[in-house]
Amino acid sequence: METLNQKWQIVSEIELIYKSKIKTSERPQIKSSKDAYLLLKSSWDQGKIDYFEQFKILFLNNSFKVLGLYEMSSGGITGTIVDLRMIFSAALKANATNIMITHNHPSGNTNPSEADKHMTAKIRQAGELLDIKLLDHLIITSETYYSFADEGAL
């Protein structure tokens, strides 16, 4: 019979690493919601932006330089899953001090829904506990975007 000591040796190992493929000096810097929109739109699969919802996160350092982009979920025509634990586990792993969240509206309507507003508030509050600031939430389409920060809704 295995002892507790032997079982401990077969527990999964957790390793925290972050590997960057780009030098710090070459990382894009986000100075405005428009900068973020242009970066996000260029990285979005244009065949999907008007087809179904996706949720992505930009991780930034203190200088607002992009550490990475994480595609968290893809959903249906009118929604996708947003898991706070996944957002912040990835943010912590990337050593991000700031995040910008985004999702697309295939309808082309950039107005935030009540669910969008509620989710944004939850993410902002969770980030405050971890000292990770939610800088903005962008709702994007292939033609334009809505910024919670620019509209004073953050």
Q: Write out the two tokens for 102.
A: 């985004």
CA distance linking residue 83 with residue 86, whole number of Å: 5
**H/E segment holding residue 66:** strand 66-74
Amino acid at 97: T
Q: Which pLDDT belongs to residue 145? A: 97
Over residues 123-140, the pLDDT tens digits come to: 999 999 999 999 999 999
Helix, strand or coil, per DSSP, at residue 149: coil
**Buried residues in 107-137 as b, exposed as e (16+ CB within 10 A):** eeebebeeebeebbeebbebbeeeebbbbbb
CA distance linking residue 100 with residue 49, whole number of Å: 18
Low-confidence ranges of the chain (pLDDT < 70): 1-12, 14-18
